Amino acid sequence: MSSTSQPSSRAGAFVMALYLAFLILPIYWLVNMSLKTNFEINTTVSLWPNEITFEHYIKIFTDSSWYSGYINSLTYVALNTIISITLALPAAYAFSRYSFVGEKHLFFWLLSNRMAPPAVFALPFFNLYSAIGLFDTPWAVALAHCLFNVPLAVWILEGFMSGVPREIDETAAIDGYSFPRFFIKIFMPLIASGIGVAAFFCFMFSWVELLLARTLTATNAKPIAVTMTRTVSAAGMDWGLLAAAGVLTIIPGALVIWFVRNYIAKGFALGRV
């Protein structure tokens, strides 16, 4: 965009290089450790493995208690993203197009739930989901994460929808479109990138959260992040296995980022620039 205008500088490139190195170094170290034997990890500090081993990865992919953790995590993340977006779409439309009784208070209340500390909700959620029989299912975690993901999705979608001129709604009404048909056929394609961004954020915050996911599951729906805490055994920490599991949890996020890379900047501004 501003290729000619901003005074580009070597200092800028230098800052960027340092920053990226700072970001990559700890991740590099994790990958490095996951390819070492535990003996090597505990005895030497070396920049690359003397002897590359895939034993930790093989263990994860052959032990069902490990890989089912990944499946459980992805299940509740997907459920949560679908629920959040489906419910948030009409609400965001209402906020962006109409004013109604209690509009401002409702919006603030929604937003305040995005900011509420999950630690406050851990115990009551445990009681609530045990009482209704959803404890230890992916549904419990998916619904619990709605607490912060639904308000966030509403907030993001409202930003993108407000960027669409209201004349489009009116023209569609004159042309005889019913509201649901207009919404699905005309309006949703117009804010497709906004829906993508909202889905990305729901994925992100549901995928990275641990406190509620840990509290609401026991054995059947245990997420991968919790399985990882098992690597402490009588023989000490299994660092190699822990590192390999860590590397595998980075991959889904990296894939998602790759697909949305062209929308990242606008997306992080929540459609508000």
Partner 1 sequence: MDKPVNNAAWLLVAPVFLIVAFSAILPIMTVVNYSVQDTFGNNQFFWNGLGWFQELLDPTTELGGRFLDALWRNLLFSAIILAIEVPLGILVALSMPRDGWKVAATLVIMALPLLIPWNVVGTIWQVFARADIGLGGWAINALGIDYNYTGDPLAAWITIVVMDVWHWTSLVALLCYAGLKSIPDAYYQAARIDGASRWAIFTTIQLPKMKRVLLIAVLLRFMDSFMIYTEPFVLTGGGPGNATTFLSIDLVKIALGQFDLGKAAAMSLVYNLIVLALCWVFYTVMTNAGTERRHEENPA
Site for partner 1 in 207-246 (CB under 8 A): 207-211, 215, 224-225, 228-229, 239, 242-243, 246
Cβ burial, residue 72 (10 Å; 0-12/13-18/19+): buried
Residues 4-63 that bind partner 1 (CB under 8 A): 4-8, 11-13, 15-16, 19-20, 22-27, 29-30, 33, 41-42, 45, 47
If DSSP codes are grouped into helix, strand and coil, which group holds residue 163?
A: coil
Yes or no: say if 222 and 72 are a contact pair by the CB < 8 Å rule: yes
Q: What CA dihedral angle connects 187, 190, 191 and 195, to 10 degrees?
A: 90
Residue 127 touches partner 1, criterion: CB under 8 A? yes
Task: State which residue, 43 or 62, has the beta carbon closest to partner 1.
Answer: 43
- Return the range that interacts with partner 1 (CB under 8 A); candidates 52-60, 62-70, 93-101, 185-193: 93-101
What end-to-end distance do the CA atoms of the chain give, in Å?
15
Yes or no: say if 211 and 66 are a contact pair by the CB < 8 Å rule: no
* Min dist. Cβ of residue 17 to partner 1 (A): 9
Among residues 58, 36, 55, 56, the alpha carbon closest in space to that of 45 is found at 36
* 173 to 202: interface string for partner 1, x by CB under 8 A: ------------------------------
- Return the range that interacts with partner 1 (CB under 8 A); candidates 56-64, 191-199, 205-213: 205-213
- Return the range that interacts with partner 1 (CB under 8 A); candidates 56-64, 86-94, 188-196: 86-94
**The tokens of 63 are what?**
């032990």
* Min dist. Cβ of residue 150 to partner 1 (A): 6
* 66 to 85: interface string for partner 1, x by CB under 8 A: -----------------x--
* 129 to 158: interface string for partner 1, x by CB under 8 A: --------------xx-xx--xx--x----
Q: Which of 108, 167, 189, 235 binds partner 1 (CB under 8 A)?
A: 108
If DSSP codes are grouped into helix, strand and coil, which group holds residue 2?
A: coil
Q: Which of 49, 55, 61, 94 binds partner 1 (CB under 8 A)?
A: 94
Cα 184 from Cα 89, distance rounded (Å)? 10
Task: State which residue, 22 or 52, has the beta carbon closest to partner 1.
Answer: 22
Lookup result for tokens 């990559």:
24
Q: Which of 66, 70, 125, 139 binds partner 1 (CB under 8 A)?
A: 125
Task: State which residue, 59 or 114, has the beta carbon closest to partner 1.
Answer: 114
Count of CA atoms in the C-beta half-sphere (13 A) of 120: 7
Yes or no: say if 223 and 145 are a contact pair by the CB < 8 Å rule: no
* Min dist. Cβ of residue 28 to partner 1 (A): 8
Total site size for partner 1, rule CB under 8 A: 103
Among residues 250, 257, 111, the alpha carbon closest in space to that of 196 is found at 257
Cα 122 from Cα 158, distance rounded (Å)? 29
